[in-house]
Each structure stands twice: as C-alpha cells, then as structure tokens.
Structure 1
Amino acid sequence: MQDLQLLETVEKYLLGEMDPAEKVAFEALRRSNPEVDQLVVEHTLFLEKITGYGDRKTFIASLNDTHKKLSNSGTINTRPTEGKLVNLFRKYKRVTAVAASIAGITTILIAGMTLYYSRKANTKEIEQLRIEFKQEVAKRTNEVYNKVKEGFPTKAPENALPISGGTGFLIDGKGFVVTNAHVVKGSTSVIIQNSKGQQFRASLVHQNDATDIAILKIEDNDFKNDVAIPYAIRKTGAELGEDLFTLGFPREEIVYNEGYMSAKTGFNGDTLSCQIGVAANPGNSGGPVFNRSGEVIGIINTRQVQAQGVVFAINSRNIHAAVQEIKKSNTTDTVINALRLPTNSNLKGMNRVQQIRKIEEFVFMVKSY
C-alpha cells in the first residue's frame, strides 16, 4: 500500500467513514503491523493539533470583530492611557509587590499539591507486575510445587510462606541476578527457581527504589558458577516499532510473549522506562525484554490498568548504572568488582525457538519470603 493511500485510509478510519467490514480488516492490520499502529497514533495527534489551531484562529478572529464593533460604536475607548497606568502603578506599587508575593507563594503551594496528588493518581493508573501471595494461595502454591517438582529440594525458609513473586535473569556468570526492587521489597530472604524447577538461595546486594532495580547474588553450592551468558545487556534502547519478546514467570512455568516497541518513554513521559506493546501479567515484573538479536533492552515492571497491552519496561542502561553504583560502594569486594555485564550476543541469526532454548535456563522465578 502506497504511503498516500495508507494515510487516506488512516484518516478515513479516524473520521469513522469506514463500513464495518473495512474497519475490522484495518484494525487487524493495525494489530499485526506496528508501523501502521504508530501512524494511526501520530495522525490522531496531528488532527487534534490542526483542529485546535483552527479553533484558536476562529476565536481570535471573533474577538477582533467584537472589539472593532465596540470601538466603532464608542462603547469602549481605545485611546492610549499610558500616563494613567504609570501613575496608578506608582501609587499602588507597594500593594502590587505584596500581591505578587502572595501570588507566587500560592502558585508554589498549588504546584506542590498538584504534583503530590497526581503522583497518587498515577499509582492507580499503573500496576506493578509482581505476584502478591495471600496466605491461602501461598500454601497451595507450595503444595503444588512439592508435588510437581519432586527430585529438587526446596530451599525456602522452614515454615515460611512466600509474600511476593516475580522474575529475574542472570547478568553475570558468577551468580548475579537482576530483578525489580518492588519484587523483593520487604523480604527477609529470597529464593530463585530456574525453568527446570531447581531452587537456589540468593542474597540482596543492591536495591534502588527510584529506578526499581534490585541485584541479587546466588549464594548456593548447587549453582554452577562461571556460566557463559548467551545474551547481551544493551546500553541503548530499541527503535520504535522494533520487534521484541519477553520471558517470565506469571505462573509456575516460564512463559514467552512477543510484541514491539511502541514508545521510547514510559508512563507520562518517564525517561527511565519505555512502553512496549505486549501481554504481561503479575509475575512478569523483573523479566527481560529482548530484541530480535537476543539483546536485553529493558526489564518489565508495570502495566497501564485501563488499557490492554500497554506495558512499561525499565531501560537496560539502568542495569549498567546499578552495577557502577555497586562497585563504587564496594571498592574492596573482589567478587563485586569482578562483575562484568555481557556485551556480546551469541543469539544473532538464530530463529526464535533456538534463541529461547539458549536463554531460558538463565531466567528465574523470584520468590520473596
């Protein structure tokens, strides 16, 4: 479809001029083609700006006509009165200064209150994607685990039940795992579990609530050290419309989903994160977002409550920043100072099934106790 024809079709769709069959076909094309979807979004904004500009021009013209009529009829006086204005200002200069001060303070207070209440409102509009275990559910989860995963000993603290869960993935072969800070928040111990059901004990070495990143260190003799990680952690994000895929644990087995980069910023223009068009559920928090070359470009952490498929991911450059923070605060720890993020992907050129087979053993379910 030529660009001009596509643009005409988009405009026809937005103006509601399509018949039902055309609308169904176009919406199917929009779901399957990120570029068409993005064009619809951009053209919607363009039409809104054009409409707004036209309305403003009409309003200004109306004001000018009204002013001209009132001036011609003598209802208003349009002669300059600069002298009176200067005298009035001199006479009431002190009062004006006091009024300006009060107005400034009021503005600051209103801005602060607006920011405070908008933040509270934002928490209702987006939802963190960790699993919240209620006591009854936690008991059933442990029962299912013990029944299905026979052969692997549980590493959970004795008589303890999980309080929350999510996903994490390896960022260094010596046992460093990254997840979301909100996944492990409030925990006293953390257990991670691979796609085969084997559990490992882990300790928290870094937690930054502002960036929502936590880094764990596997402290378990059953873990095989110095494994070669096949994927890379990128310092830059994906391009708009680029194909992406995710792996995570919204249930007791690893789940794959695919989508695309839909915006380079997150909720309300947040520059720490990006928006991706993909399905995600509680348990996906902390899961990696990969591009087609098998490079990590983000970490899933939230979704928009009132919209389907609108998910937000922390940009992968924040993982690099977190590692630098750890090294600065632990200059004498040789293990931490030897931490190296993978920068080369061995997954380029592979099909998706081959890529997943290589990746899945490095992605973990994270359980907080």
Structure 2
Amino acid sequence: MQPVRRSSRLTRNTISAPETAASSSRKNSRKSSQRRIRCTPPPEDSEPEVESLSEENSSEEEEDMHEEILPKETRYENSRTAFQGLYQEKPDLLRPSKKPLSARFLTQGARERTSTVADAGLLYTVCDSDSFQPSIVREFVANLGDAEPRGDGVAVYVRGSLIEFSPSLINTMYCIPHCEEDSSWMDEKLDKVCTLLSGNRIKRWEDMSSKYLTVTNQVLYKLVCSNWIPTMSYTAMNAERLRFIYMLHLRKGFNFGKVIYNQIMRMAENTETEKKRRIILPTLIQQVILIQRNVPPDNSDEAESDFPKLVVKDKKAGLGSGVDSKEPDLEEDIDQAISFLKGIRSRLKRGEYPIQRKNEDSESG
C-alpha cells in the first residue's frame, strides 16, 4: 500500500471536524435547557465583507451602463458621419453596377412594380390602414340589415345617429378618381388571365398555382387578399382575384367603391345564416365612420386592435417552370370529361356510393 500523503490526511480531518462538532452539540443540547443561556456575541468573520464590495461593483456597473447608453438620434448621426466619410473616400460604393433608369428606380421592372397600384388609383387603400375599435365595427355590421336607403348607398345607425355608407363615399375617402366602369373585366377568360400573370408559363386555368405567379403578381395577389377582396387563403387561386389583378395591369376602368360596398353588404346579409363568418375590411369600416364624425368610446369599448400585418412574399413565388402547361385543347378536355364520367359510372355499379343508393331506394319505395 502506498503511504497516505499529509495533504489527504489534512483533508479528511477538515471534513470530519464539523461532524464531530455537530455530534457533541447534540449531546449537550439536553442540558442547555437547564443552564442559563449565555448571551455571547457571534464570532467575527475572518473573511472580508462581500456585500460592500458587491454594492460598490454594482454602482460602478450602473454608472458604466448609463455612460454606454446613447440616444438613437446621436447614434444615427454618428453612423451617418462615418458613412459619409467612407463614401467621400470611396465614391464607387454609391454607384450601382448597372446604369439606373432614374434617380428613383434602378430598372423599368422596378418602376412598373410601383406604378401598378398607383396608376390604378389604389395607393391610399394600401397606405391608410390604421387600427380600429372592434365594438364599433360590430355595431355597424349589425345595423346594416336595418339601414335606410340614401343616394347610391345607405345610412347606417351608429352610436346614436346615422352614418352614410356608399360606393361614392368610399371612392372619395381613398381619393380614387371617377372613371367609366368597364364591367367586362369579370368576364375575361381565365386561361388568358393565367398566361399574363404567370409570365407566359401557364396556359391553362387548371394548371394555375401560386408558385407560377411572377414576383410582382404574387405581392399584388396578397394585397387583393388583404385589402381589396379579403380572404384568409393567400395561396389558393381564386378566379375573381386573378381577374382583379389582370384588370390592374390592363388599366381598365372600374368602380372600386362599388366592389367594396357590395362585399360588405353581402357579408351583412349572410350573418344570419353564417354565424362564424368573419367581418371583412374592419379598418375600412372604421375609416368610413371617422371621415364623417368622431365616435367617442364608452365603457364597453374594447382596446383598439393591432395594426394590419405586413405583406410578405412567399419563397416559392415565381419559381414554377410551367413546363407541363400547354395550350387548351377542346378534344382533349372532352376525352378527360368522358373518362371521368365513366369512372363515376363504374363506381356506381360496384356500389361504392352507399349513401346515394340508400336515398334512391327510399325514394322509389
């Protein structure tokens, strides 16, 4: 066996010392009740005081933190000064690799992407999107069923008085210029619409998907889904919304206020049958009220809602190749329809539609 080192013996002794003291204190605890308790001061701590040091350190850290925090304006000004010095030293950093189209746009495509909404007169419908009071909006929708006719719209009862609601008011609110409406945009052939919006990659409506939309049209489609013809399905292709974007590109005349007015009126009519139907365009309804008069909140009013979410482009937008899409063929479509109907007929003969067969038996009986 190896001899035990002196350091290990010292370690064992230091560890066992508290145990011995604890056992002796337990033995003498019974006699302590009979003896007079001695009021002896606590032993002085041989270790240095940590609290005072920590307090001093914390105060120093707080002072350092206060010194490090700078106002936002000061930080931005310092950053701009540094960048200006860098650009003066290396002016090539400010020049793009390709010749810009103008001082505002780099390419013609960038100008077209910005001008699509502006040229259609819908710029304020995207910019003016504030918060709203849910209780007031619900009262407006609930009273739409009892609205009184007025002009080209109706007058709705809201918080003690009537509020005008009409297509012309909506157009005035968003500074949309008056133009002759061309209702034919709703009758455009979907194959033609898909070809334009996909950048000539898709030839048939049946092949259309959100990934085939060009980058610009994908953003426009989300604007349609959130601001113009609302829905929660931002990627599901809808014929009316696709035609709407098609109309924007062709700059056809249309009555935006009428499109919005009809949607809100249909929503109010369907609240009786569709109990879980969402209220569409609540921000617009709030603006219709506020543009006529201030509506003071009461104790039952809820807090204003959050601001609308930002439109974010999907990563898959514009990535579809469209190689499988081809020109519409009437004979091929007829053959597909015939084969589909034959499949239904064979399943009927095999009895794969028991519910339908049961209903037919009950009717014949």
TM-score bracket, shorter-length normalisation: under 0.3
More strand by share: 1
More helix by share: 2
Q: TM-score, normalised by structure 2?
A: 0.20
Larger-gyration structure (1/2): 2
